[in-house]
Amino acid sequence: MKTLVVYGSTTGTAEDIANRIAQQAGGADVVSAADLTAADLTDHDLLILGSSTWGAGDLQDDWFDALPTLTSAPIGGKRVAIFGVGDSAGYPDTFCGSMKALYDAATQAGATVVGAVPTNGYSFDDSEAVVDGKFVGLALDETNESDKTDERIASWLAAIGA
């Protein structure tokens, strides 16, 4: 199975997480959302999309130009998993909210989103990325819970079959 990890990162945290995910997934390809092409999406079986969260739960800037590429690419039926990076203590009411925009874009494109994560074990007040009581993907907090990141990534990758 050919896997692609696409990230949007301003400070480097989401990029670091993308590379860690790729390494744990056995050497997946990694590309910045700023450089994403439709061919990148169609050439892979599993797409892992991630972003840091800014402002009121917003996507990282590189995704604004990449979202149209995602929604217009022929990815119907492909498996998509999502990860988000946020600060649950500093922004407890929008924690990892950027994942929701990636979730919406992937479902709009007809992809099958996998890898929802229960919210237990997380400390936050609210997030748009919680649907039916679960995060739409893997929520990570490198500011306050970096000691849990590698274990969360490993469990999540096992759950999505990556």
> How does pLDDT run across 37-56, given as a tens digit for each residue?
999 999 999 999 999 999 88
pLDDT at 55: 85
Q: Where are the domains of the chain?
A: 3-160
pLDDT at 134: 97
pTM: predicted TM-score of the whole model, two decimal places = 0.96
- Dig out the tokens for 21 from the structure: 């995910």
Q: What does the alpha-carbon distance between residue 79 and residue 60 come to, in Å, rounded to a whole number? A: 22
- Dig out the tokens for 7 from the structure: 């990230």
Q: Which amino acid is at 156?
A: W
Q: Which of 109, 101, 89, 86 is nearest to 136 (CA)?
A: 101
| Positions of the chain with pLDDT lower than 70, given as ranges | none
pLDDT at 94: 94
Q: What does the alpha-carbon distance between residue 85 and residue 27 come to, in Å, rounded to a whole number? A: 21
Q: Which of 142, 143, 38, 48 is nearest to 99 (CA)?
A: 48
pLDDT at 57: 87
pLDDT at 56: 85
CATH of 3-160, one of 3.40.50.360, 3.40.30.10, 3.30.360.10, 3.40.640.10: 3.40.50.360
Torsion sign across C-alpha atoms 110, 54, 46, 158? negative
